[in-house]
Structure formats: C-alpha cells, structure tokens
Amino acid sequence: MRRSHYFIPLLKETPAEAQVVSHQLCLRAGLIRQVAAGNYDWLPLGLKVLRKVENIVREEMDKAGALEILMPAVLPADLWKETGRYEKYGPELLRFKDRNDRECVLGPTHEEAVTQIFRDNVKSYRELPLNLYQIQWKFRDEMRPRFGLMRGREFCMKDAYSFDTDREKSLEAYQRMFDAYTRVFDRLGLQWRAVVADTGSIGGNYSHEFQVLADTGEDTLLFDPDSDYAVNIEKYDAATAPKPREQLVEKKGIEVGHCFHLGDLYSEKMNALVTLEDGKSIPVVMGCYGIGVSRLVAAAIEQSHDDKGVIWPEPMAPFKVGIANIRHSDATCTDMATKLYLHLQTMGVETLYDDRDVSAGQKFAEMDLIGLPWQAIIGPKNAAEGKIEWKNRKTGETQLLGTDQLPW
C-alpha cells in the first residue's frame, strides 16, 4: 500500500481521556477513533490488525472441528427469560422495545441463542459431537466505558459452544478448545498464561481464563512453575482451585479468553434434549468458549510497546515492512524504493510504502509509532551504494543490506 493513498490520521498529543497505553496508542497511531463513550470506529490500520487476529482464531477453530455460524446481535427477550438471565443479568444487558412493542436485548453473549439452534434442529446422539462458533460484534452497556478497546461497549468476540452426550465427551471437547486456544495465543506471538478461574455470571462448573501478560494488566496471577496453570488471585477459591506447592505472585494479566464447562445449566432450563442410543432423552451437555478478538488488539499493545509507539508481534502487524523513502526528490532513492516495494508485493510481503513528500523525521516518527516489525530506510548516501538501511522495530538494530540480501 502506498502511504499517499492510505488513511492513517495520527495524533501528536495524547488525548486526555486515554488513561492506559493501549488506548493512547490506538488513538495516536490512527487505529481507532471514538464515536461515543466506549464505541469506536476502526480505521484501516486498526481493522487490518483486527482481521489478522480474527483469521488466526477462525483457522484454529476450524482445525479443531468447530463450525462457523452467525447469530443476530438483536435477540428476543423471551429467549433470555427462559433461563432467567433477562431478570438476573445486570444493567450491562441493553434492553429495549422494538416498534411492535416486543422486548429485545442486544446480546452480550449467546448461550440462549445457540441453545435454541440446538433444541430446534438436533435430536439424536448420532449428530454429536457438535461445536458451533461465531465471530461477532456484541454489546455491553458499561456504566463508565473506559480503557479504550480493553472495556468498550461494542466489542468483537469469538464465542464457541460445544454439545455432547455426557460429561466425559464434553470434557474432551473442552480440552480440544483449550488446545486450540494454546495454538491461537502462540500463533499471535503473545506471552500468555492459562489460569484456573471461577465461573462468574455464565455459570457452570469448570473454567479457565487465558491471560496476556503485561505490566499494566488488571489481574494478579499466582503462578507455580511446577504447575500447568496459574490462579487469578482475586478469584482464588481454596476449595476448588488447585494448590500449587510453590506459588509465586510475579505477574499481571489481561483476560483475553475464557473456557467454561457448562454441563446442563442452559440445556435443562431451555429443554434442549438429545436422544441417546438407548432411547432415553437427556439435556445436552455443553461448554462455552470465548476469545476477546478486539480486546486482543489492545492487550498486544499493552504487552508490546515502547515510548515511541506500538511494537506489533509479526503475526498481528498490519504490514510486515514499512519503506521510508527519505529523499523523495532523489531519483535514485525513489527508483530503489519503488523497486523494493514492487519486489515485496510480488513476494506476498505486506508492505506500507511511505512515498509522500514529507520530512524524514516525520516518516521515522510515524514508522515507529505504528510499529511495523521491519523498516526499510532509503536515503541518498546508501542508495548511491545500492544499500538499504534495514531496521528491526523491536530491538532498534539496523544493518546495511544490498537489495539481494533482504529476507524476502
């Protein structure tokens, strides 16, 4: 993409309302803009990052055998009344009436809706196991939305729901999702921990959180190097949580995923039955599995940034390489930059080519702020010798490379 054809509105000053670094950098680097408290426009650069996350999540869900569907954002209140959550859920559940005076909600989660799909369309154990997931924009009417994408009102979530005939098979499904989550967070290039968790407002009887590690995280984790899982110190319950032999309080985390084993909590209330081989009908055994897709964009920034800006892990970067042609008027520079841009395009390397007639300082500052993993800096002295300055955004290391020495 040529920068002159692209749209990255930067902010020089940090907006006063942005308290956390991911919120500040999302605004300053032109990833998002606020429309109302907690509601954001995703601008081209931010949306590209979001799509990278979304695609990795989708690929791993598909590989794990989950099937993608899409449920409505607006749901009938009647569904939520069946499980009692219409009354129980707090004011974060936005309730309204449509023009026909029917009560509706803007779904912050979709257990009822997916259980309805099961109830109306599946009858027999022969059709199981089944795992349905969606990647969807949800709404949570926060009292004081803040921290940007970390706790917005409109947010993108992957939510998967497993259906099985018994607890044992359901726990196998849970493990498949757990393993898929491992691959998702590894592939995103993030430092993360699985944490034994309580079950909160979703209910159920077995649950893990997935936390991206960051100095700025909200949750303090108990971590035992000999154990598989950490424990969230705020939610620590000695009766149910494992007791690691040597617990270290050494990390802060940001919750970006959650697995719940639900059992028949929803299926019993909603009469979602499955007929077994012996002819008996039982409430189907369920699990639910969330990943905060839009929140991951913010969590990655909390984990990986410096005072100059964002440092994207390569798998999440909106472009892999940024080319800064710092002497627009120099024919050798422009020729070299253009050829490099075309070469990288041909190699399938996503590249942002800053071809504008602005100062070198402005280009350097913007490249650091938007955080592309690699910068190719092309100036008159090096270009005359056929060299490109090749900079690693994370380490700041630079080297002079000939055009035949690039990684691609």
Interface positions with a copy of itself (CB under 8 A): 5-7, 9, 33, 35-36, 39-44, 47, 50, 65, 67-76, 79, 91, 94, 96, 98-100, 102, 104, 106, 113, 116-117, 120-122, 127, 130, 132, 137, 139, 141, 143, 153-154
Cα 178 to Cα 118, 268, 277, 403: the distances in Å are 22, 25, 28, 44
The alpha carbons of the chain give a radius of gyration, in whole angstroms, of 24
135 versus 310: smaller Cβ distance to a copy of itself: 135
Nearest to 192 by CA among 308, 294, 313: 313
- Least CB distance from residue 126 to a copy of itself, whole Å? 9
The position carrying tokens 């990795």 is: 56
47 versus 360: smaller Cβ distance to a copy of itself: 47
134 versus 232: smaller Cβ distance to a copy of itself: 134
99 versus 243: smaller Cβ distance to a copy of itself: 99
115 versus 207: smaller Cβ distance to a copy of itself: 115
Q: Where are the alpha helices (DSSP H) in 93-236?
A: 111-121, 167-187
- Least CB distance from residue 117 to a copy of itself, whole Å? 6
User: Do 285 and 254 form a contact (C-beta atoms < 8 A)?
Assistant: no
- Least CB distance from residue 296 to a copy of itself, whole Å? 16
Tokens of 315: 């798998």
Tokens of 398: 């630079």
- Least CB distance from residue 352 to a copy of itself, whole Å? 13
47 versus 365: smaller Cβ distance to a copy of itself: 47
User: Do 111 and 262 form a contact (C-beta atoms < 8 A)?
Assistant: yes
User: Do 379 and 364 form a contact (C-beta atoms < 8 A)?
Assistant: no
CA atoms within 13 A on the CB side of 224: 14
- Least CB distance from residue 233 to a copy of itself, whole Å? 30
- Least CB distance from residue 101 to a copy of itself, whole Å? 11
The position carrying tokens 């690929």 is: 59
Tokens of 214: 């960051």
